[in-house]
Amino acid sequence: MIRLSLAALMLSATAALAYPVTVQSCGRAVTFEAAPTRAVSNDVNLTEMMLVLGLRDRMVGYTGISGWKTLDAEMRAGVAELPELSAKYPTKEVLAGAEADFFFAGWNYGMKVGGEVTPDTLAAFDIAVYELTESCIHIGPKARSSMQDMYADILNLGTIFGVEARAEELVAGWTARLSEVTAGVDRTEPLRVFVYDSGEEAPFTAGAYAMPTALIEAAGGVNIMDDLEKSWTEIAWEPVVERNPEVVVIVNYGDVTAEQKIAFLKESPAFAGIDAVRNDRFVVLDYVEATPGPRNIKAVEKLVTGFWGN
């Protein structure tokens, strides 16, 4: 017979009294009667949000990483005991088969508008969904990208899983560190910056609603494509050349390396007149740094150094 201490019983009772809780997810009010115990996250950055909150023991797996990306040593250690349920986007059957009760994903981060895996389709399996804030632009209006998007996700996950104190501590620490990192940045003449994710015939880049726009602004730059009313999107090369970025931020992941992307830009005559190419000014961010997640502050540090040499 297992005997619980009085302290453990009181802690359990206090946790139970904290529920139900309700959070906003892309305009939906999502209520939880208790903390999820069989969670699944999609993509490397969302999975890292779960891990940094200490939620590995509440997870039954993750999806959508090895199909596109490789894990660094830190992430491999974090998910060592968890199975990857799907190399790319999961199906309803995969999530139901894992007996998941929670899916942390986003639009184009594990779910597609009109696709088979959505909050509505998973409701039939009693799987609650929390959507990545950055991705909400795909289904309705939202404010431009900001650091608050990532902070909001951490705080909402803290509420959902009953780890509010940990979430608040993380956000406070990141906010303080961001202030330190950007304290000496001169914002009178922000650097013109282009985000190069992928593509040679047509580049895939970040618009007004993608996290790199917020990271670049925090570091004292301006995304030359911040007038695009989109998140991540494909464009033509002509406006890139016309707007003449002073720095190019390379998003590093996938089969084409950052070095190969830089070589493509430097070896193409069409880009020879771009200031960033002429002056060899490139800053490389790993995918997990350029998308919403715990490494965003490190990303701003990299950008500040790359922009200003600090």
- pLDDT greater than 70 at residue 221: yes
In a domain, 44, yes or no: yes
How far apart (Å, rounded) are the C-alpha atoms in residues 66 and 68? 5
In a domain, 111, yes or no: yes
Residue 92 and residue 216 share a domain: no
CA angle 277, 183, 45 (to 5 degrees): 65
How far apart (Å, rounded) are the C-alpha atoms in residues 226 and 180? 25
Residue 205 and residue 168 share a domain: no
Residue 192 and residue 66 share a domain: no
Residue 39 and residue 19 share a domain: yes
pLDDT, residue 78, reads 86
Residue 210 and residue 121 share a domain: no
The helix (run of H) or strand (run of E) holding residue 239 is helix 238-243
- Give the SS3 label for residue 236: coil
- Give the SS3 label for residue 67: coil
Residue 195 and residue 290 share a domain: yes
How far apart (Å, rounded) are the C-alpha atoms in residues 219 and 187? 9
Give me the mean pLDDT over the 16-30 stretch.
93
Scanning the structure block, which residue is given the tokens 């660094």? 72
- pLDDT greater than 90 at residue 182: yes
In a domain, 6, yes or no: no
Per-residue model confidence as pLDDT tens digits over 88-131: 999 999 999 999 999 999 999 999 999 999 999 999 999 999 99
- Using alpha carbons, select from 26, 36, 35, 224 the residue that is nearest to residue 108: 26
Residue 120 and residue 72 share a domain: yes
| % of the chain surpassing 70 pLDDT | 94
CATH of the domain at 228: 3.40.50.1980
In a domain, 143, yes or no: yes
Residue 134 and residue 192 share a domain: no
Give me the mean pLDDT over the 9-30 stretch.
79
Give me the mean pLDDT over the 203-231 stretch.
97
Eight-class DSSP state of 136: G
- 1-32 core/surface letters (b: 16 or more CB in 10 A; e: else): eeeeeeeeeeeeeeeeeeeebebebbeeebeb
**Which of the two residues, 173 and 72, has the higher pLDDT score?**
173
Structure tokens at 261: 């992307």
| % of the chain surpassing 90 pLDDT | 87
In a domain, 182, yes or no: no
- Yes or no: say if 23 and 30 are a contact pair by the CB < 8 Å rule: yes
How far apart (Å, rounded) are the C-alpha atoms in residues 294 and 299? 10
In a domain, 249, yes or no: yes
pLDDT, residue 9, reads 47
The neighbour count for residue 76, using CB atoms within 10 Å, is 10
Per-residue model confidence as pLDDT tens digits over 267-287: 999 999 999 999 999 999 999
Its domain, for residue 220, covers: 187-308
Domain count, the chain: 2
